[in-house]
């Protein structure tokens, strides 16, 4: 067995172990890339040049530079509070319904290639999570801190899952083009981007239905946790008074 053939895969166990131990994801991925490059014989200078080139060519760099300061400025002037106040005026709004609506819109837009329509920095943190939390406060009053974190986690999960399964339907998505190019280079020429997109559609629909079912149960879980928290707080108060 030629070990040299498996050296390019050395980064995979590094990423698995790093994520399992909950190390910083950026550091884990960077370390895996450096070790992989050195393992396959890349010069240190060429390796660093490659990292710098990919970083500068990344579209996410310009997005972060432009979006994050704008979002920070909007939050400074009360964007999150305005979003919560607006949701509180909608009586039929619940945490589960808001997240379900966002999930559908996010996945459909990703299928059309509008990948930057949502996102954690520009949508989830300043808008979606405060709106979901505001709806819960409107219906249940004060919320325990761990429940607020759980609502924020559900908001982030909606964006992640909807984008992950929706973008594979868009035939001009990089991963779809990469798969078709790889298959053609290995003699499977009948696979086209449209074929990959169509085969990804059942998975995207299944992910949509499964997550909508999970979100439909979220309001009941929030109510149960709020009631349990209030019961505990009342018991602590009575114990302190006695």
Residue-wise pLDDT tens digits, 145-166: 999 999 999 999 999 999 999 9
Q: What is the C-alpha separation between 7 and 35, in angstroms, rounded? A: 10
Phi and psi based region of residue 94 (left: phi greater than 0; alpha: psi -120 to 50; beta: remaining)? beta
The confidence score (pLDDT) of residue 94 equals 92
DSSP 7: G
Q: What is the pLDDT of residues 46-70, one digit of tens each?
A: 887 877 776 655 555 555 555 666 6
**DSSP reduced 3-state for 147:** helix
Residue that is written with structure tokens 């709020």 in the block: 226
- Helical segments of the chain, H only: 11-20, 25-39, 44-57, 59-76, 79-88, 95-111, 129-140, 145-166, 174-185, 193-216, 218-241
Question: What per-residue confidence (pLDDT) applies to 170?
Answer: 84
170 in the Ramachandran plot: left (φ > 0), alpha (ψ -120 to 50) or beta? beta
Count how many Cα atoms sit within 13 Å of the Cα of residue 131 in the half-sphere of its side chain. 23
Note the pLDDT of residue 57.
Answer: 57
Task: Read off the tokens for 59.
Answer: 């579209």
pLDDT (0 to 100) of residue 2: 61
Q: What residues of the chain score a pLDDT lower than 50?
A: none
Count CA atoms closer than 13 A to 31's CA, side-chain side: 13
């Amino acid at each position: 067995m030629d070990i040299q053939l498996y050296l390019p895969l050395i980064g995979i166990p590094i990423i698995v172990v790093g994520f399992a131990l909950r190390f910083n994801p950026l550091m884990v991925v960077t370390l895996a890339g450096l070790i992989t490059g050195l393992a396959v014989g890349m010069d240190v200078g060429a390796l660093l040049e490659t990292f710098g080139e990919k970083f500068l060519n990344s579209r996410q760099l310009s997005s972060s530079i432009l979006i994050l300061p704008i979002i920070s400025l909007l939050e400074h002037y009360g964007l999150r509070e305005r979003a919560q106040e607006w949701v509180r005026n909608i009586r039929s709004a619940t945490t589960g319904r808001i997240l379900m609506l966002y999930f559908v819109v996010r996945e459909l837009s990703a299928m059309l290639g509008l990948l930057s329509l949502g996102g954690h920095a520009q949508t989830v943190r300043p808008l979606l999570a405060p709106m979901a939390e505001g709806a819960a406060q409107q219906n249940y009053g004060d919320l325990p801190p761990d429940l607020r974190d759980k609502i924020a986690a559900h908001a982030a999960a909606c964006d992640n899952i909807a984008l992950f399964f929706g973008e594979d339907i868009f035939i001009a998505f990089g991963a779809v083009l990469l798969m078709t190019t790889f298959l053609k280079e290995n003699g499977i020429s009948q696979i086209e981007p449209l074929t990959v997109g169509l085969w990804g559609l059942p998975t995207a629909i299944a992910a949509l239905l499964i997550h909508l079912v999970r979100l439909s149960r979220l309001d009941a879980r929030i109510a149960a946790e709020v009631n349990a928290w209030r019961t505990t707080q009342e018991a602590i108060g009575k114990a302190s008074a006695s």
